[in-house]
Structures are given as structure tokens and as C-alpha cells.
Structure 1
Amino acid sequence: MPHAEPTEQDAPRFTTPAGEIIGWRDRGVIRATGIRYARAERFCAPEDEPPATMPIQATQWSPALPQNSIPELDEALGITPQEAAYCEGELHLSVAIPDSPATAPRPVMVWIHGGSYVFGAADLAVYDVRPLALEQNVIVVAVNYRLGLLGFLGGYANRPANLGLLDLISALRWVNTNIAAMGGDPNNVTLFGHSAGGDAAAHLMIAEGIDGLFQRAIIQSAPLGISRNRAKMHGKMSRKAADVKDDTPLEEVLCAQEQVVKAAQGFGLRSAMPFGTQYGHYPLPIEAEVDAAWRRAAPKFDIFIGYTLEETALFLVMSRNLSRLRQFPLIGERATRAMVAATTRKIYKRDALMFARRHAKAGGNAYVYRLDWGKGHYPFGASHTIELPLLLGEPASWQYADIVKDVEQTDLLEHGQRLRELWADFARNGQLPPTGQLEPQIVQWWQAS
């Protein structure tokens, strides 16, 4: 996503508690990109960035946090190698604001990217939040957080766990403190996260230190079905990770991460996403108390939680071994559909429904959605990530993505605008009609009870 540097005369400026922020204009929005919200030494909790004494030049994209590439996912999402630059030790976020007068503080939506807690970045072109901010008159903040071995494994060698979650809490503190000076309403903040990002949003609801930092959560395709009973797996991973020292070169750390992943094999479906939140480590309660914690939190939050019709079709396509199953004469396609249905239900659907029902029974406001868009589009169908080309980026952003190969740009534009409107409507006040749908082939939703 190239952009021109603003001139000194026309650069938008914001005087915030963090300091004077200098942004740039981009086709109807004001961007303030690559803002450092915290610093973090390796295997240490983040330290909030102190107020700047010099103007903050917020004109470069946020660098990603260290990670290994996943070529199959790059192909599915159309991510190019040159987007993979990363840095360690600094944590950044980017803000998009409609470049138009506002009569009242705008709702704020905070994007938490997914990627199994090992992959992704806030400012990837396919995750561009500009259309959402521009069309829906909301402020969108996209956040980076630590991943993998550096962000979501701890509890060993005096290293804290849940560092990536602590990063997100630090980012939310930054939003709470500074967003009013940028035209946003700090009392109307909605998290929206996909996959691991949705899982993080759900767990932030029961994390210590989040009081007042957000009011709503849109939890997209969170793998809640594999979020529990992970202690033995994490213990085995930790023994392998203990060989990594605080001063081990970063490239060696990323190589070691692959060995830590191998140590997690043999734990069923959990092995497919070995890194993640760890119960019983700050800021999360012990596993036996998480349901009670979510019940206590329910009256504080509005939630919109859901899944796609064929979540695990993405992983089937990405796996050469599983893809071969589809080629078997007569039974291949039928067996594939059965596998996708069973694993979608076990990892995503079942626990999303349980989450919403528990939330509603505990006095919270909860809606559930099922997204069908893409059904019948071989080979991905209505798979995991399929809503992202509708919510984020523009058709040109997704031109190399296999998941929407051969989809007409007009379809992406038309259906994307409708889905963005639905997401933003929920973010404005946490309310939707009790039931509804955006055409049968896009999304259906209903209120949990």
C-alpha cells in the first residue's frame, strides 16, 4: 500500500497525551500509521510508550513482529514476500479516521489480526481498514502484537506467559488514553478479531486490567474448541523452548520455534494451533474458573460471535495429504465434505454457540452469525478467512488471493459494503435486529438466548 509523504504544510496533526502525531491523507481518510505504543524486551512484559517530546511522524506502516512465513497461507491470502519485514522490541499500531467533519465522537473499532498466533500483521494490504473507516464513519485501529515463541509460550525459565495478550492490553490503554484527541469515543470501543484474533478478543474479556478499555467484541471464527486442556502440550513445548536464551539471535529463535511446534505433535487437533493463551498465568484465571469468569464478564460486553459454513476447508486445501483425499473416485468428495463439517463443528461452531448462550444466560447481549458466502466455490467454499476480503482491503488488495480467485470485483465491492455496514452497525451501539440476513449466500444472524 504505497503512499506519498505529506508536506509540512498540509499534514494532519493531532495533539494527544502521547504527543503531537503527524499523519497523512489517503483517499478520504486520515491515516496515522506505525505509532509505537509500547516497547518490549524479549520474554518480558511490554512497557507502555511514554509521551513523546518530539512530534511523532506517523507516516510509515507498522512493521510486523518476528514470524516464520507460511507459504500456503501466503498463497491463499495473496500476501507477497516484500510485506514480511519485521522488527523485535517495538510494538506499533495504525489508525484510520474519516477525513470529514464529525458532529460527535466516532465509534472506535480495534482490529486484531489472526494467524494461529504465529503469523500476520496489522498493516498487510489485505487487512487494509480504510474502506471500513471511510464507508461507515468509524475510527479503526489496527494493532500488532508478539507472536509464537516470543508472544504465546511462557511459564518456564521465569518467563511470563500470554505476552501477546499483554501487548494487546497495552494497545487498548493507548487507545483509551489518546483516541478522544483523534475524534474517537473511548467509551465506545469494539474489538473485532479473526481466528486467533477472535480468540484473543474473547480472552481479553476475562483478562485482568481491561476494565473500561472496550465495550463490545466481534469474535470471528475463533478456534475456541481447542483452547482448553493444553497444559501438557505447553509443558512439552516449554522444555524444548528452554534452550532458547534471552540473547539468542533472532533467526535462531525462529528456527527453534519450528522445533517447539514439532514438540507439540500428538495432542490431536490442538497440535494444529500449538501456541495460544495459557490459563492460570497472568492476566488469565485458572482453567477451572474461566466459565465463571466469562459469566461474570457477560453484563459488561456486547458480543457478536460466529463462524463460516465450511471453516476447515481452508486447511484441507493447504494440506497436500488431505487434498489427496478429495481425488479418490466416488468417495473422495463425500468424505471431504464430512470431514470439513465434523471439524468445523468441533473447533468453531459448537463452542461459538456455547459461548453465546452462556453469555446471554449470564445477562449479556449476544448475537451469533453464520457466514455462507463462497459456498460452492471450489476448492475453498465458505472457508476460514473467507469474510476477510469482504471486511478489509479492496478488490485490488486481494487480486493474488487464491480464496477469491475468479470472484468478480463487483461481488467483492457490493457484498463487502453490506458486511462492513453490519459489523459497524453492531459497533455503534451493540444492537442488531433479533434475526436477519444479508442475502442467503452472505451471512445470517440471530440473537442468543
Structure 2
Amino acid sequence: MSERLTAPAESGPSGRPTRATTALGGFPALVDDGVERLRNIRYARADRFAPPEPLPPDPDESAELQHVVVACPQPPSAADEIYGPQLRDVRFTEDCLRLTVTRPAGTGSGDALPVMVWVHGGAYVSGAGDLPGYDPAALVREQQVVVVAVTYRLGALGFLGDDAVDDGGATSVPDRIPLPLNLGLLDVLAALGWVRDHVAAFGGDPDRVTVFGQSAGADLLAHVLGADGADGLFRRAILQSAPLGLRGGRDEVRALLSRTAGDLPRTGPVAEVLDAQVRAAEAVKGINDRAGMPFAPACGHAPLPPEAGFLGAWRRRAPDVDLLVTWTSQDGSAFVHLDPKGRALLDRPLVGKALFGLATRKVTDVLFRTAARRFARDMVAAGGTVAAAEVTARVVGNPLGATHAVELGLLFPRAERWAAAPVIGPDGAADLVAAGRDLRAAWAEFARGGRSPGDVRVADGTGWTGGLRVVRP
């Protein structure tokens, strides 16, 4: 499989090399500051455009990858302007179906600690589960939980297929083999199956598995909740700023994506696939609101029901899964700022800030808040146990406010990473560990027993204000 590095040398994660004791044998690991990381364990294998083939844990296979961050090949992200450079010292490889287990140092196979499975966001086109900005060390150390971070296929490699497209034959090619859809979703289901079957050997409790994700990661988990084959894979789910306002209604976007991408190569340089992805994404810009996140799971194709049956699938699963649904009070500000027209509002004399605020509220409501509350109400009506909360935490003086992904620095307080991100910056990064302690405790308490969080305040004197406000769905 093709791969490349983002830098000539990898400075990757640090720590003292060791062999971690598990019921499956000794795994290579890194020990640092009270936690043990077993990095880049392969949970499945897949050829390009093929479904994942689950694999059992191999104690030796990941030995050379303990200091490496592995990511699905992807184009540069425009969101780096807001979230800082996320992909330094990363190995891009199609052999990316891997997960990292982070557990308290000294954990044994019989400890049965709560398990939290992290599914990263990035609009289905960027990111990786094991990036420095998702370092769970503080959460693991403070709360005595096991965190499993999943990396899956993205963009054209994970979510562009043509077997769903019915556009009158415009995309048909004689003897062409259709590309399957929803491969990235199948990857995550395979990873959750790995957790169910094997996490006990690493000291986790397979009966107390909580999945949590943010943005596209939360949206992906919302699709997992409606997918075939998801029964029994987890007990609880935390959906953070899922763009549920963009769910469904993607036929037009998907058809144009496929038509523009053309006949993607099943072998050869992955750059050809990425070039087609960029070309296709550019072609769909502006055709409708779904074009803002063009690569996404496709309803009506395995393992998902048709759109008309999706709510029913959610409702059937609702009584079996405790849910925590959150959004941020200014989720939309990052997106308004990334749009040149939105950013220009701030330059308008007298009314600029007010107009920017109105645009932020509209985006927040349409993409996040309104749809999240509707989803929560539907799950409650179906017999589910659901908590809803608005994240109001923000860095004092930051013009983006409590924007999209601002809580990630509090959950994953890697100061040097978040200092380079305008959503937090140096002022907010200086005291991330202290500022987010109660928020991390709330997430872990939910994972331990489904306890709904109460209102949470960030720590005083940390450069942060606000917190988490529980609301009625």
C-alpha cells in the first residue's frame, strides 16, 4: 500500500519503550506520565475500495509503529487556519485501519476498567485518531479509564462510491466494477467489533463501552446507531457537535461527486485518488447545503437503512444505548470565519460584530443545535435515556467564543498542540489540564454508569470561562 510522510523525519509520540502485559501476550508500548500506550494495533486489513477484513490482535505487528502517527492519505485541510497544523510528522498510508489503546500504567487484563472509544472528526476528509490534539493521557490518568482511538478511511477512499448513483446512466462505464459506499463506516464497525472481542485482554470492560466523537466523528456515530450489525457493540454514546442538520438528502451531491471523480484506480499511486477527490469536491461546491460536507455515509446502502427507515432504526436502538448529546453555544463561528464573506463581516463599521454574531447563530442553529435537540427528543420518545447539554466554555477574549471543537482542548489537554490553534491559542492552552478537569470527570462518569452530567464550570483563574450547561432536549 502506498504511503508517504509529512516530514523527512518523525518526531512522533514520546515515552519509554516497554512490553505491555496483556492476556494476548506482550505488546510493544510506550510508558509516560502514568499512562501506557499500545499504539497502532491493526484491527482490520483492506485493499483499496474493499470492505475491511477484521483481524485479531498481533502482539508483534505494530512494534515499528510506536513512535509513528498513522493517518489515511488526505489532502491538506483548509481548517488548519482555525485549528492549527494537525498533521505534522504523520505517516500517510492506506494501511491505516489501526487503533491505539491508552490505559493507566500498571493495568492488568482483569481490571475491567470503563472503555471510551474515540472517533475523530474532520468532515470525513481529514484527521486521524491518534493525533497529538487527541492525546487522552489526562483523561486516562485522572479517571482510570481505557481510551481506544480509531483511525479509519476518509474522503474518496472511505466515502466515495458509485453503486448508489442513479443518474440515468451518465456515470456508466462498460464492464466497470462499481465502488462500494460506506467503507469508512464499515471500518469503524470493524474497530468496535475488535473492542468487543479483545478489550478485556487489555484491561477494559466490554460491557462498559462508550463511544464518543466530535463533528463528523459524532455524525459517523449517529450513523452507527442506525446501522446493521451495531447491536451489542457499545452501551453508551457521546455525540459532540454532530452536524445532524446535514444528514440525508445527498443524492444530488453524491451523483456529481461520482461523475466528476470518474473511474478511480484500484491500484497504483494514491495521489491519483486524492486528485480526483479534490476535483470532485470542487465541482459540488455551492450546489446545495450538503455540499459543505460532501463525503459522508450513504443511506440505503450497507450497512445503513434507506433514509425513510433511518428514524425507525434509531428508535429501535434507543432503549439499549444511553446518550449524551452536546453542541457548543457558538458552533458556527469557526465556519463563518473560514468563509471569506463571513470573515469580511467583521470589517463592517459599527454593525460588523453584530452581523458576524447573527451569522454564527444561524449556522449553529441549522447545522447543530436544532437538529441535536430534535434527535434527543426522538430518542427520549422511543424510550431512550438521553442527556443534552450546551458547551459554553471559551477562552476569555477569544473572538471565536465557544466555537466548534473548543471542548477538545479541555478533554485532550496537549498544551503545545492547542497553543497553535486559534480556537484556543496560547492564552487558553496554558492551563488546559486544570480548566478541563471537571469536564473530563463528567465524560468519564457518564462512561462509568450512564450518569447524566450536571452543569460544569471551568476552573477559575485559568483564562477560561463558561463550562457545560445541561438543557432540556
> Which TM-score band (shorter chain)?
over 0.9
For the Cα contact (< 8 Å) 1:105–1:184, is it kept in 2? yes
- CA deviation after TM superposition for structure 1 residue 381, in Å: 1.1
- CA deviation after TM superposition for structure 1 residue 316, in Å: 2.1
For the Cα contact (< 8 Å) 1:35–1:62, is it kept in 2? no
Q: In the alignment, what sits opposite 1:12?
A: 20
Q: In the alignment, what sits opposite 1:85?
A: 91
Q: In the alignment, what sits opposite 1:371?
A: 391
Provide the rounded CA distance (Å) in 1 between the counterparts of 2:369 and 2:213: 16
Alignment deviations for residues 310-350 of structure 1 (CA, whole Å, 9 cap, x no partner): 11111222233321121011222211111110111000001
Q: In the alignment, what sits opposite 1:48?
A: 54
Among candidates 320, 324, 341, match of residue 300 of structure 1: 320
Instruction: Kindly provide the amino acid, as one letter, of the partner of residue 443 in structure 1.
Output: L
Change in CA separation of 1:195 and 1:140 when aligned onto 2, cut-off 3 Å = same
Alignment deviations for residues 131-178 of structure 1 (CA, whole Å, 9 cap, x no partner): 111111000000000000110122435211110000001111111111
Change in CA separation of 1:61 and 1:173 when aligned onto 2, cut-off 3 Å = farther
After TM superposition, the score normalised by the length of structure 2 is 0.88
The 5 A counterparts of 1:10-409 are 11-16=19-24, 20-50=26-56, 52=58, 57=63, 59-70=66-77, 72-79=78-85, 81-100=87-106, 104-156=111-163, 157-374=177-394, 377-409=397-429
- CA deviation after TM superposition for structure 1 residue 409, in Å: 4.4
Alignment deviations for residues 259-302 of structure 1 (CA, whole Å, 9 cap, x no partner): 11022223332111111011001000000011111111100100
The percentage of aligned residue pairs carrying the same residue is: 39
Q: In the alignment, what sits opposite 1:415?
A: 435
Query: What secondary structure, in the 3-state scheme, does the structure 2 residue paired with 1:140 have?
Result: strand
Provide the rounded CA distance (Å) in 1 between the counterparts of 2:467 and 2:327: 12
Alignment deviations for residues 95-131 of structure 1 (CA, whole Å, 9 cap, x no partner): 1001145784100000001000000011211111111
Provide the rounded CA distance (Å) in 1 between the counterparts of 2:308 and 2:13: 48
For the Cα contact (< 8 Å) 1:5–1:59, is it kept in 2? no
Q: In the alignment, what sits opposite 1:443?
A: 468
Instruction: Kindly provide the amino acid, as one letter, of the partner of residue 46 in structure 2.
Output: A
| Structure 2 gap ranges (5+) | 1-11, 164-176, 459-464
For the Cα contact (< 8 Å) 2:85–2:420, is it kept in 1? yes
Query: What secondary structure, in the 3-state scheme, does the structure 1 residue paired with 2:242 have?
Result: coil
Tell me how large the CA RMSD over aligned residues is: 2.0
Change in CA separation of 1:375 and 1:348 when aligned onto 2, cut-off 3 Å = farther
Change in CA separation of 1:100 and 1:20 when aligned onto 2, cut-off 3 Å = closer
For the Cα contact (< 8 Å) 2:16–2:31, is it kept in 1? no
Query: What secondary structure, in the 3-state scheme, does the structure 2 residue paired with 1:270 have?
Result: helix
Provide the rounded CA distance (Å) in 2 between the counterparts of 1:76 and 1:111: 22
> How many corresponding residue pairs?
441
After TM superposition, the score normalised by the length of structure 1 is 0.93
Provide the rounded CA distance (Å) in 2 between the counterparts of 1:80 and 1:290: 34
Q: Which moved more, 1:267-276 or 1:316-325?
A: 316-325
Alignment deviations for residues 28-48 of structure 1 (CA, whole Å, 9 cap, x no partner): 011100111111111110111
Provide the rounded CA distance (Å) in 1 between the counterparts of 2:47 and 2:290: 29
Change in CA separation of 1:98 and 1:252 when aligned onto 2, cut-off 3 Å = same
Change in CA separation of 1:408 and 1:264 when aligned onto 2, cut-off 3 Å = closer
For the Cα contact (< 8 Å) 2:390–2:471, is it kept in 1? no
- CA deviation after TM superposition for structure 1 residue 442, in Å: 1.0
- CA deviation after TM superposition for structure 1 residue 247, in Å: 2.4
Provide the rounded CA distance (Å) in 1 between the counterparts of 2:87 and 2:28: 29
Query: What secondary structure, in the 3-state scheme, does the structure 2 residue paired with 1:243 have?
Result: coil
